[in-house]
Amino acid sequence: MSAEKKKSYYSESFRLFRKNRVAMVSVIVLLLLSALALLAPVICRYDPNLQSLRDRLQTPSAEHWFGTDEVGRDIFTRCIYGCRISLSVGIVSQLIASVIGYLLGVSAGYFGGKVDDVISFLIQVFSSFPFLLFAMALMNVLGPGLLNLYLSLGILSWAGTARLIRGTVMQLKNQEYIQACKTDGGGNLRIILKHLLPNCVPMLIVSITLGIPSAILSEASLSYLGLGVQIPTASWGSMISESQTYIRTHTYYSLFPGLLIIITVMAFNMLGDGLRDALDPKLHSGGSL
């Protein structure tokens, strides 16, 4: 792909993406959520972990927008800080997964033979075992914490990406410019990083974006079970778990973190769908790939 063509491919994608109203709305929602997460200490008037038993279980008010929890912590503040956890776990774990997935997928597709057999087998293994169960087992051994969440969700969710990349690379490696590069004495590493990677980038972008929502849901589930973040860190999942005792009397408590999970996950799903359509060369008017 020459530089000029590459540019036109991405500008055509961008043009298509901008026309997709649903995707644009999801971008705005996600930018807003990211801003809230980044600016949390500036926006919030309270400390997310500051307990104030005098103010426990207050209904939403001007003072406490989302009310307070069972030990008097401000729920709005905890929701905003929870946003940091969800977004970072989603993004970092999927970056880890996509690096592993790319390296294994490209090796399988490019080298073929025995390497492909072994990696394909691993892909099958990692896509046929119960994900949440192994995440639980892993978190149980590693102990709760943000870094462990990144690692265990990342390590367990690379198989889908690897399978996609493997398939693409198997097609790409027989194309003329790859063959030409080989005849020209180009090493394997050079081909994998310089020629195959740019062609896989659109696919990686889509698989990361669509992987994030499931990572966020897994984090919420793990934190709900007490296997995610360390207490008292605010996470949407752990907040829902804490709120469960009070659903009869304080419905709003579990509502806010639940709605935030849905909004975030929905936005990433719609963004991913929009990106997939926009980056699909078949839908480009000029057929620039």
Partner 1 sequence: MWRYIGKRTLLALGIMLCISLITFIILNVIPGDVAAMMLGDFATADNIAQLRENMGLNRPLPVQYFSWLGGIVRGDFGTSYFQNRPVLELIHISFSYTVVIAVSAYVVAVVLGLSFGILAATHRGGVVDRLVMHLSVFGISAPSFWVAILLQLYFGLQLKWFPISGAKAAGWFVLPAFALGTRYAASISRITRTSMLEVMGQDYIRTCYAKGLNRLRVTIVHVFRNALIPVITILGNDFGALLTGSMITEKIFNIPGVGKMLIDAINRRDIPLVQGGVIYVAIICVVVYFTVDILYAVINPNIRLTKDVN
Residues that bind partner 1 (CB under 8 A): 120-122, 124-125, 128-130, 132-134, 136-138, 140-142, 213, 217, 220-221, 224-227, 237, 240, 244, 247-248, 251, 254, 258, 261-262, 265-266, 269-270
CB of 12 to partner 1, least distance (A): 24
Q: Burial code of 151-163, b = ≥16 C-beta within 10 A, e = fewer?
A: bbbbbbbbbbbbb
The torsion angles phi and psi of 10, rounded to 5 degrees, stand at -70, -35
- List of residues 6+ apart from 17 with CB closer than 8 A: 23, 24, 274, 275, 278
Q: Which is nearer to partner 1, 122 or 181 (CB)?
A: 122
Q: Are 165 and 200 contacting, i.e. CB atoms less than 8 angstroms apart?
A: yes
Minimal distance in Å, beta carbon 171 to partner 1? 15
Nearest distance from residue 137's CB to partner 1, in Å? 5
Q: Distance between CA 199 and CA 169 in Å, rounded? A: 9
Toward partner 1, which CB reaches closer, 77 or 86? 86
Nearer to partner 1, 58 or 152 (CB): 152
Q: In terms of CB distance, is 132 or 205 closer to partner 1?
A: 132
Write down the least CB distance from residue 279 to partner 1, Å.
19
> What's the min distance (Å) between Cβ of 283 and partner 1?
15
Give whichever of 125 and 231 is closer to partner 1, judged by the CB atom.
125
Nearer Cβ to partner 1 (46/165): 165
Identify the sign of the CA torsion 191, 109, 11, 266.
Answer: negative
Q: How far is the CB of 131 from partner 1 (least distance, A)?
A: 8
Give the DSSP per-residue string, 142-173: H-SSHHHHHHHHHHHS-HHHHHHHHHHHHHHT
Q: How far apart are CA 76 and CA 68, in angstroms?
A: 8
Q: How many CA atoms lie within 13 A of 242 on its CB side?
A: 22
Residue 79 or 240: the one with the smaller Cβ distance to partner 1 is 240
Q: Are 194 and 3 within 8 A, CB to CB?
A: no
Nearest distance, CB of residue 177 and partner 1, angstroms: 26
In the chain, helix, strand, coil percent, each to 5? 75, 0, 25
